[in-house]
Structure 1
Amino acid sequence: MTLVEEVRRPAPSGLAPLAVDVDGTLIRGDLLAEQALVFLRNPLRIFTLLFWMLKGRAALKRRLSESVEIDVEALPVNEELVAFIEAERAKGREIHLATASDALVAAKLAARFGFVDGVIASDGVSNLKGEAKAAALTKRFPGGFAYAGDAAADLPVWRAARETVVVGARASTLKAAEAIRPPLAVIPRPRIGARTVAKAARVHQWAKNALVFVPMVLGGKALDLETWAVTLAGFVLLGILASSTYLLNDLWDINDDRRHWSKRDRAFASGRLPIAAGLAAAPIGILIALGGAALIGWGAFFALLGYLVVTLAYSFRLKQVAVLDVFTLAGLFTMRLVVGVALAGVVASPWLLVFSMFIFASLSFAKRHTEMVRVALAGKDKAAGRGYIAADAPFLICMGTATGMSAVLVMVLYIFNEAFPAGMYQTPGALWAFPCVLFLWLGRVWVLSGRDELHDDPVAFAVRDRPSIALGVVMALAFVAAIAPVGRLW
């Protein structure tokens, strides 16, 4: 059996009713995947999910619809199809949703749109897909119907229909649909290019992983080709691991991201990438990264494993706790240095690790401050999924500038207590450029943050900001001058 819900009956127009599929057609996504993702926010529920799957797909959909609520108002929709439907509705054509999703969630989705006249969906016993959907629609509309679908499973429905609308179908499916009859309309499939995948994996964030090279350079192994090879391999593995955790983070945050002013454009939140792809790619990436690290050595393996554990803890819970979230982010940056120590086989410098915690805490506070400023400008009080409110902006500035200046102080103390007495540098006086440049750059970051001119991520901002790049060049030249045998200045 299938559920047929009549919302209203418009006046007859002579046009065949238009039945519209939901998954991959009206919405850019899959309702079952959306529900499963919400349900599995408690990972222990995987066993319950597997048990429900044994009872059949229709029963699984009903149980999920009864157990979880998804934000149907925020689901990404196919705007081109919506425009087409509204044009057809204006002509007097009836519009019905015809979906294999469960009737309970389909009815909620229908309420979001003003053009839906009825819902035909799975009912917990029968899965309304393929031949079953074709039979249900033929019975419901004996005078004929038009059907909008997207997949090969819709071919039996198109054969039973009077008119065909093809939405986002693969080339082979489109060709098969055209063989049945010329489509009334064809809405092309969105192109998923390498850029979309790279943005979802946040490959640009791999720049942060360049920190793994710092211990090698400071440890005196900058000219060791074997150490370079091992560290470069570790850099790639850490990038793969980080990208995998970014995928999991975006899946976990998908509902919050859809309400965010900029994050709503992320690949999963916008529906450009399917949820199933992320759920498959993330564990594969994690296994590749940890397996590769084990081949390098147990030190590298446990360093990457620790990074993974802390990252997942941050993604699933800690980022919702004010101040602790920033401390964790600073810790994750510092753990990149720890990974570099393990890869290069050098001794960890306490000065470097303490400096890292302070500088990255400051940048993390800047990121949170920017978010809270945007929240206030949007007329809201709280950002979804965060432990801060708009009124915390002054506190975030205070904490951010304090930790930033602490980083400058640690740098000064390092130069006084380590650089000069240990004789580690040929020209240690050149290192005085470091705290000066650091002070100027942090000042720029916080001025722009206060003006709401800072990118969400200060690190990503720094690699594109010309003054920041110029200051970075000055620091690089100062370091070269410090280690080059050009005579002592002090």
Structure 2
Amino acid sequence: MRRPLVLDVDGTFLRTDLLLECFWAGLHRAPLATLSASLRHLRDRAALKRALADIATPRLDLMPLNPDIAARALEAREAGREVVLASASDRTLVAGLAAQYGFSADSLASDGQTNLKGAVKAQALVAAHGARGFDYAGDSAADRPVWEAAERALIVGHRPRIARALRARGHDVQEIPGGWHLRDLVRALRPHQWVKNVLLFLPMLAAHDFALNTLLLVLAGIAAFSAAASCIYIVNDLLDLEADRLHPTKCNRPFACGAVPIGVGMFTALVLAGFALGGGLLLGPAFLAVIVLYMTLSLAYSLRLKRMRWVDIATLAALYTLRVVAGAAASGVAASFLMLVFVFPVFLTLGCVKRMTELALAQNNHRLPGRGYARSDRGDLLNVAGLGTVGALLIFFSYSFSPQAQALYPAQWLLWVAMIPIAVWLIRMVRLGYRGAQDYDPIVFALHDKAGLSLILVTLGLMMQGAGLWTRWLGL
């Protein structure tokens, strides 16, 4: 009789961890119940796994597989060998996974009372198959007792000391590539999204305060805001694992595809949050309050608000506007109330553009995964985007009559001329979003769009001429 092939699940057959999958699925669906269960069973891993699995069972058919181990499992099945899952994850999940892939029904797993890990797993496998009566694939140092009880040890990842020790004891050892790469973690931080934080420069530019000290304070604020944003991006990705795996392109995100372990993401998010809040402390209570509000609102958006029609777009606009407020708080430059009111409808329009783009690129007429919109809503989104465009232009026109504008812009009429490229830019963004002819994030798209950047530069040039800055700097 041929030896069965026994597979660990977390980090071996799957490129993820089922306990953490349940935790984040639970936070997505029932956050209070999940946090309560986590605190209640913090010291009892088996009970914790059962409680979280009962609260939210993730889609097992969407779990990312380790291709090398999956191929070996298929090869073993075709050769007539029994393939058995043995995992410290909860039995309900492991049994479902075994049924999903046609493995043996005699899987071994934690049962709510016993945590099947390390020596406990080794004893259970020896009782079922005999000493050295099975081959075992695992990835963790905790699997060493199981490898020692097996005939053949398949080690996923880089564990040279364990491999040498097992070979010295007469085991057949096969090492299989595994682990994660720093470049994938950097990709999860979405550094390309940091360009959004150029919005922190807006109060400084609007007030024509180009002092070096002001610039350095804004740059420090951008660093803190970038860390806060990356922290929230990680949390958002972990909350959206299932929706991302159903998405045609987001399924390739590092956590969704298993390129980076969930635990690494959680640790990184904590470090980034600490950096952001520490930077907030250094830049003063006003900036700290803004960054705390930004992170809190972003978390609320990730947990609930993004699934609420229209509320999600208003929240996106508020998050963009908070970047402008943060620039004022970091530099100490007073932000005009009308300027803040002006940027909100601009960002409201761009929020509609973001949703229209997603709907235009959707593959069917169903609601977007994790969102409250379907293709039938494109007309309503277009109307709201139009209202946002008109509102922004009217507020900008009103700003031109404000005492601050009259003090900063002697040639008031050039502000009115500047409204033309602003209007063209907004209408162009709406048109491209409706056609699905831009990226999923309109801000990132705008900062790489040559035609759009030309319109923005024309606007800035007209405003600077209206303020007399070209004459002051260049003698024009």
TM-score for both structures, normalised by structure 1:
0.88
1:383 pairs, out of 368, 373, 383, with 368
Partner SS, residue 101 of structure 1? strand
Q: Distance in 2 between matches of 1:17 and 1:48?
A: 36
Q: Deviations over 1:87-122 (max 9, x none)?
A: 222122211111111211110111211344531222
Between the aligned partners of 1:139 and 1:66, the Cα distance in structure 2 is: 29
- Partner SS state of residue 431, structure 2: helix
Query: 1:451 offset after TM fit, Å?
Result: 2.5
| 1:82–1:336 distance in 2 versus 1, CA, 3 Å | same
Matched-pair contact (CA < 8 Å) for 1:244–1:283: yes
Q: Deviations over 1:32-88 (max 9, x none)?
A: 11222334442465343233234x322332333344322212111112321221122
1:152 aligns with 2:141: yes
Q: Are 1:339 and 2:326 counterparts?
A: yes
Gaps of 5+ in 2: none
Match of 1:27 in 2: 14
Aligned length: 468
Partner of 1:259: 246
The 5 A counterparts of 1:441-460 are 441-460=425-444
* Within-5 A mapping of 1:32-71: 32-40=19-27, 41-43=30-32, 45-54=34-43, 56-71=44-59
**What is the aligned partner in structure 1 of residue 383 from structure 2?**
398
CA distance in 2, matches of 1:384, 1:70: 15
Which residue of 183, 186, 190 maps to 2:175?
186
CA contact (8 A) 1:437 1:471 kept: yes
Letter in 2 for 1:162: E
Amino acid across the alignment from 2:422 = L
In structure 1, what is the equivalent of residue 316 of structure 2?
329
Instruction: Describe the SS at the equivalent of 1:486.
Output: helix
Give the drift of 1:169.
Answer: 4.1
Between the aligned partners of 1:247 and 1:240, the Cα distance in structure 2 is 11
Residues 197 and 426 from structure 1, CA distance in 2 versus in 1: closer, same or farther, beyond 3 angstroms?
farther
How far apart in 2 are the matches of 1:67 and 1:320? 20
Shift in Å, 1:136: 1.8
Name the SS for the 1:268 alignment partner: coil
**Residue 77 (structure 2) pairs with residue 93 (structure 1):** no
Amino acid of the structure 2 residue aligned with 1:440: V
Contact 2:314-2:348 at 8 Å conserved across structures: yes
Q: Do 2:180 and 2:261's aligned partners in 1 also have CA atoms closer than 8 Å? A: no
Matching residue's letter, 1:90: E
Q: Please state if 1:74 is matched with 2:62.
A: yes
Pair 1:239-2:223 in alignment: no
- Residues 1:407 and 2:396 aligned together: no
Quote the offset at 1:24 in angstroms: 0.2
Partner of residue 72, structure 2:
84
Give, in angstroms, the shift of residue 453 of structure 1.
2.0
2:114 counterpart residue number: 126
**Alignment check: 8 A CA contact 1:427 1:486 kept:** no
> 2:406 is paired with a residue of what secondary structure?
coil
Read off the aligned partner of 1:60 and give its amino acid letter.
L
Query: Cα 1:112–1:434, aligned 2, differ >3 Å: closer, same or farther?
Result: farther
Question: Could you tell me which of 120, 127, 145 is aligned with 1:139?
Answer: 127
TM superposition shift of 1:434: 3.2
Q: Which amino acid aligns with 1:280?
A: F
- In 1, Cα distance between the equivalents of 2:418 and 2:228? 31
Query: Structure 1 CA distance, aligned partners of 2:147 and 2:6?
Result: 11
Report the counterpart of residue 7 of structure 1 in structure 2.
none
Alignment correspondent of 1:112: 100
Offset, 1:273? 2.1
- Preserved CA contact (<8 Å) 2:37 2:51: no
**TM-score, length of structure 2 as denominator length:** 0.90
Deviations for 1:386-437, whole angstroms, at most 9, x for unmatched residues?
Answer: 122221112112222331243234334434x249971423655554553222
Cα distance, 1:180 vs structure 2: 5.1
* Cα displacement (A) at 1:257: 1.8
User: Retained in 1: the 8 A contact 2:349–2:388?
Assistant: yes
Question: Structure 1 CA distance, aligned partners of 2:319 and 2:286?
Answer: 17
Q: Secondary structure at the match of 1:53?
A: coil
Give the Cα–Cα distance (whole angstroms) in 1 for the partners of residues 53 and 404 of structure 2.
67
Structure-1 separation of matches of 2:201 and 2:321: 13
Letter in 2 for 1:442: L
Q: Is the 8 A contact 1:24 1:168 kept in 2?
A: no
Distance, in Å, in 1 between the alignment partners of 2:464 and 2:395 is: 21
Query: CA 1:216–1:159 in 2, change beyond 3 Å: closer, same or farther?
Result: same
Which runs of 5 or more residues in structure 1 are unaligned?
1-13
1 CA distance for matches of 2:84 and 2:370? Answer: 35
Single out whichever of 76-85 and 163-172 deviates more from structure 2.
Answer: 163-172
Q: What letter matches 2:134 in structure 1?
A: F
Q: How far did 1:275 drift? A: 2.0
**CA deviation after TM superposition for structure 1 residue 305, in Å:** 1.9
The amino acid of 2:155's aligned partner reads: V
The alpha-carbon deviation at position 325 of structure 1 amounts to 1.0
Q: What is the DSSP-based 3-state SS (H/G/I as helix, E as strand, rest coil) of the residue aligned with 1:422?
A: helix
Distance across 1 between alignment mates of 2:161 and 2:32:
37
For 2:66 and 2:450, the matched residues in 1 are separated by 39
- SS of the equivalent of 1:267 reads coil
RMSD: 2.5
SS in 2 for 1:469: helix
Provide the secondary structure at the position in 1 that maps to 2:107. strand
What is aligned with 1:302?
A: 289
Q: Which residue identity is paired with 2:84? A: H
Alpha carbons of 1:27 and 1:475: their partners in 2 closer, same or farther (altered >3 Å)? same
**Which string of whole-angstrom CA distances, capped at 9 and with x for unpartnered residues, describes residues 228-249 of structure 1?**
2222111111111122122222
**Aligned letter for 1:281?**
T
- Seen in structure 2, the aligned counterparts of structure 1 residues 460 and 52 have a Cα distance that, compared at 3 Å, is same
- Which segment drifts farther, 296-305 or 422-431? 422-431
Q: What SS does the corresponding residue of 1:27 show, helix, strand or coil?
A: coil
TM-aligned CA distance change 1:401 to 1:180, over 3 Å:
farther
Counterpart secondary structure, 1:100: strand
| Shift in alpha-carbon separation, 1:92–1:387, aligned structure 2, 3 A | same
Q: In the aligned structure 1, how far is the partner of 2:432 from the partner of 2:108?
A: 53
**Residue type of the alignment partner of 2:420:** C
Query: In structure 1, how many angstroms separate the alpha carbons of the residues matched to 2:172 and 2:464?
Result: 67
CA distance in 2, matches of 1:71, 1:176: 38
Question: What secondary structure is seen at the aligned counterpart in 2 of 1:470?
Answer: helix
Q: Distance in 2 between matches of 1:453 and 1:100?
A: 47
Q: CA deviation at 1:276?
A: 2.1
Q: Once structures 1 and 2 are overlaid, which stretch shifts more, 104-113 or 120-129?
A: 120-129
Aligned to 2:201: 213
